[in-house]
Amino acid sequence: MTLLRETPLAAAHRAHGARMVEFGGFLMPVQYGSILAEHAAVRERAGLFDVSHMGEIHLRGPGAIAAAERLVTCPVASLAVGAVRYGCLCNEAGGTVDDVTVYRLAADALFFCVNASNVEKDFEWIVRHAGDPAAVRVENRSDRVGLVALQGPLAQDVLAHLTDLPLTDLRRFRFREGRVAGEDVLLSRTGYTGADGFELYVDAARVVALWDALLAAGGPLGLVPAGLGARDTLRLEAALPLYGHELDDATSPLEAGLARFVKLDAGGFIGCEAIRARLARGHTRALAGFVLEDPGIARSGHSIVHAGTEVGTVTSGAPSPTLGRSIGLGWVPPGLAATGTEISVRVRGRDLRARVVETPFVRKGDRGARPGA
Amino acid sequence: MADYEIPANLRFSKEDEWVRAENGRVTVGITDFAQGQLGDIVFVELPEVGRTIEKGEPFGVIESVKAVSDLYAPISGEIVEVNADLAERPEVVNEDCYGDGWMIAIAPEDESELEALYDASAYAEHVRSRKE
């Protein structure tokens, strides 16, 4: 039997009427009422997500930055204090151990925000490859850190009621430490929804107080709690990968379309040689975004079909509430990844017509169906 | 826990469909409890008129944002009508599951099969037994 964990906000979720489901070893709110309404709130106003299940692994010491340069695909030495970068931890074969965000806390300190399902795997991997423990102290603070994501075009207006931190100056992928609603937080202008917004890291013991203060201040502006169901449709509209779907231990970040987060030229990170070799040989598959032209919904695991033959697999699929049609990501042969290519998705034995489109499916500011999208 | 509407004049299947028998024709939909469990319904796939279905056989599919569920025939018979409006407006199943959200109408093979279905109070117990 697997013991499911809960975040400190579990009681608050239940009080809001949440339906709780297993995700990444945690019992998490999938929806409070309607996923479509929560999705729309984030696109039009603001939504508040509990993402305390995610992990935080800190590296500190004179060797911390060099260790991180070996561990992740994105540059770390050039990352300013107060800045965040997205990257991947890769294995020696060039597969992806996890996708993470890197927060530069100080000259000799940073942390990785990692996926809940990968916290233990990542921690072991990082400890094993961080080098001399006298030069780098690795610490898993996941259980002590609460994390909420305030996402949507009104997120800044909600926060303005609760903090003196300069919000307009806080650019995307930057963070500041300070007080929000009287709580000590690390406030980061990041998210996983394709909307403007913030993620607030706070002591796990204070996350309930922060959550309540944000909802109270944001309620009049239309802020609602939003669950993992809406988080998934939002991230898919933004074509952001989800570990276990678009990424796994066998998949290189380049295959998954993440080349701009991989410092191939500089090299030096674990898996770099293998990724270069895989690139030189030519990838056998590419991740494509598609929209369905026939009624129906593509789901993870469905086959992608071309000229009557199964050529690939859907990694993520859902109805797009913003576009009003079904969208998905999936593996196709590189020759079928070009925009406009006609493919099909086999759903319960029927081939539904689909077309490869540019991603993201929805760009910031999109609030409704776009013609020709 | 929310209460669910269970009309007294209908009969119900174990798989959370309701049936209404009128003039030799049986209309089928999903219950208020079922639509509440599914959440926002975004796609309904129904069979062709004229198809014959056996009691317990899957006859269609209903999809919410997160989940795909089969629809099971509560009785055997021939499908004489389907609710074509649901193709364009599947959300009607959430809004009016016992009315405009109906799914199919069946000409029953054997009307006595209706007797085997739950009445409202037995179905209410069936719902209660699955709640925490």
Query: B14, B19, B16: which is closest to B36 by C-alpha?
Result: B16
CA angle A308, A309, A311 (to 5 degrees): 135
Has residue B66 been placed in a domain? yes
- Summarize pLDDT for A189-224 with one digit per residue, the tens: 999 999 999 999 999 999 999 999 999 999 999 999
- Summarize pLDDT for A329-344 with one digit per residue, the tens: 999 999 999 999 999 9
Has residue B80 been placed in a domain? yes
Residue contact A299–B87, C-beta within 8 A: no
Give SS3 for A124.
helix
CB atoms within 10 A of CB A169: 8
A contacts of B44 (beta carbons < 8 Å): none
CA distance B25 to A316: 41
Say which of B39, B40, B43 has its CB closest to residue A296.
B43
- Summarize pLDDT for A3-31 with one digit per residue, the tens: 789 999 999 999 999 999 999 999 999 99
A contacts of B87 (beta carbons < 8 Å): 295
Residue B93 belongs to domain with CATH number: 2.40.50.100
Has residue B44 been placed in a domain? yes
Query: A143, A94, A148: which is closest to A123 by C-alpha?
Result: A143
Has residue B83 been placed in a domain? yes
Distance from CA of B42 to the nearest CA of A (A): 7
What is the pLDDT of chain A when averaged over all its residues?
96
Say which of B40, B61, B63 has its CB closest to residue A36.
B40
B contacts of A348 (beta carbons < 8 Å): 45, 61
Has residue B45 been placed in a domain? yes
Has residue B104 been placed in a domain? yes
C-alpha pair distances (Å), A125 with each of A86, A88, A246, B118: 18, 13, 21, 56
Residue ranges and CATH numbers for the domains of chain A are 10-53+144-237 (3.30.1360.120), 284-373 (2.40.30.110)
- Minimal-distance CA residue of chain B relative to A227: B66
CA distance A189 to A163: 14
Q: Name the pLDDT band for A371 (thresholds 50, 70, 90).
A: very low
Distance from CA of A124 to the nearest CA of B (A): 33
A contacts of B61 (beta carbons < 8 Å): 348
- Summarize pLDDT for A250-276 with one digit per residue, the tens: 999 999 999 999 999 876 899 999 999
Has residue B127 been placed in a domain? no
How many domains is chain B built from? 1
pLDDT at position A370 is 43
Q: Determine the average pLDDT of the residues in A92-109.
A: 98
CA distance A301 to A287: 14
- Domain of residue B100 covers 11-113
Say which of B40, B45, B63 has its CB closest to residue A35.
B40
- Summarize pLDDT for B21-46 with one digit per residue, the tens: 999 999 999 999 999 999 999 999 99
Has residue B123 been placed in a domain? no
Strand-pairing partners, residue B86, are none
State ipTM.
0.89
